[in-house]
């Protein structure tokens, strides 16, 4: 398994990388998947907005976009807008670190096959997020 963290056009470095990698591996094993290569890319609103328009045909800001690789083991790229995470942390009255963990977990849950288009899907993925956020503390 390989979990890597990158920044694109933004001055950001993830804290506690080892603990985050352990959580990601725990999550993947708990979901009965085999880990492959996962790349997190922390970026700006502008960069993520352009990806959203180009690949998903959405003209909205978002905090995360997940692209799954078509490999046997769970692999993909997870793009996260740091400004969006900061704004959402204020909006939901949680710490930046807590919101970032939630979003990072959300991306891996997408790789595991969870969706969030319908209300029932949103409820299910949120429950999973809550479970794994608690295990990180």
Q: pLDDT (tens digit, 9 = 90+) per residue, 89-102? A: 999 999 999 999 99
Q: What is the CATH classification number for the domain harbouring 93?
A: 3.40.390.30
- C-alpha–C-alpha distance, residues 92 and 79, integer Å: 21
Residue 119: the pLDDT is: 96
For residue 21, name the pLDDT band (cuts at 50, 70, 90).
very high
Res 106 pLDDT > 70: yes
* Contacts of 133 by beta carbon, 8 Å cutoff, 6+ apart: 98, 101, 102, 105
Residue 133: the pLDDT is: 87
Residue 42: the pLDDT is: 98
Residue 137: the pLDDT is: 55
pTM over 0.85: yes
Count structural domains, the chain.
1
Structural domain span for residue 11: 2-136
Handedness of CA 22, 26, 28, 34 (dihedral sign): positive
- C-alpha–C-alpha distance, residues 69 and 7, integer Å: 20
């Amino acid at each position: 398994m390989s979990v890597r963290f990158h920044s694109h056009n933004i001055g950001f470095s993830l804290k506690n990388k080892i603990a985050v990698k352990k959580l990601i591996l725990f999550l993947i094993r708990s979901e009965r998947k085999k880990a492959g290569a996962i790349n997190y890319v922390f970026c700006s609103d502008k960069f993520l907005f352009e990806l959203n328009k180009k690949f998903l045909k959405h003209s909205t800001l978002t905090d995360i976009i997940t692209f799954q690789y078509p490999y046997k083991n769970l692999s993909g790229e997870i793009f996260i807008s740091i400004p969006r995470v900061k704004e959402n942390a204020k909006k939901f009255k949680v710490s930046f670190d807590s919101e970032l963990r939630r979003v990072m977990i959300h991306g891996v849950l997408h790789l595991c096959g969870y969706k969030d288009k319908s209300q029932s899907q949103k409820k299910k993925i949120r429950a999973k997020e809550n479970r794994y956020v608690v295990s990180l503390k």
